[in-house]
């Protein structure tokens, strides 16, 4: 069974910044914590087959830091994110996207690992000396 690269039905949290919503989730085979952004108007839209989601993985979050990061990368990537989300990549929009990412860095860096996908593989029944039945589920990692 293949897993989606990013499943926004399983998130650690989300924040709305007007017309952009930021999700804290996990992506890829290694389930790396990430910040995912998309236009708020697309959330819950039926019939949307492919949405371009803008992702900042935890491993590259340092590049967005205001003091020790890479300002060129943040500016260029903010413009690319604006275009991907269907916005005009003007200076106010790019600054807003950069500010959203920077506002979310603390929460991104403190995200827990993704909970394991467990499925029930068996049901165990134990009958004690008094004749009472005790039911337990046996679970295994589905990934």
Per-residue model confidence as pLDDT tens digits over 30-69: 889 999 999 988 766 555 556 678 999 999 999 999 999 9
Give the model confidence (pLDDT) of 72-90 as tens digits.
999 999 999 999 999 999 9
Q: How many Cα atoms occupy the beta-carbon half-sphere of 76 within 13 Å?
A: 5
Rounded to 5 degrees, φ, ψ at 50 are: -135, 120
* pLDDT of res. 1: 43
Summary mean pLDDT of the chain: 84
Is the pLDDT at 113 greater than 90? The verdict is no
| Residue 7: predicted pLDDT | 80
What confidence score (pLDDT) does residue 9 get? Answer: 81
- Which phi and psi (to 5°) does residue 41 adopt? -65, -20
- Residue 15, CB half-sphere, CA atoms under 13 Å: how many? 12
Domain spans, the chain: 13-109
Phi, psi of 97 (to 5 degrees): -65, -45
The structure tokens listed for 4 are 């989606």
């Amino acid at each position: 069974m293949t897993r989606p690269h990013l499943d926004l039905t399983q998130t650690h949290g989300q924040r709305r910044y007007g017309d952009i919503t930021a999700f804290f989730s996990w992506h890829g085979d290694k389930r790396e914590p990430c910040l995912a952004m998309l236009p708020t108007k697309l959330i819950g839209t039926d019939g949307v087959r492919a949405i371009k989601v803008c992702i900042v993985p935890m491993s590259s979050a340092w590049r967005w830091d205001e003091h020790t990061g890479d300002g060129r990368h943040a500016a260029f990537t903010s413009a690319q994110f604006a275009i991907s989300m269907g916005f005009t990549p003007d200076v106010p929009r790019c600054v807003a996207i950069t500010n959203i990412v920077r506002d979310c860095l603390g929460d991104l860096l403190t995200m827990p690992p993704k909970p394991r996908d467990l499925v029930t593989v068996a049901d165990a029944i134990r009958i004690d000396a008094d004749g009472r039945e005790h039911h337990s589920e046996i679970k295994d990692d589905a990934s």
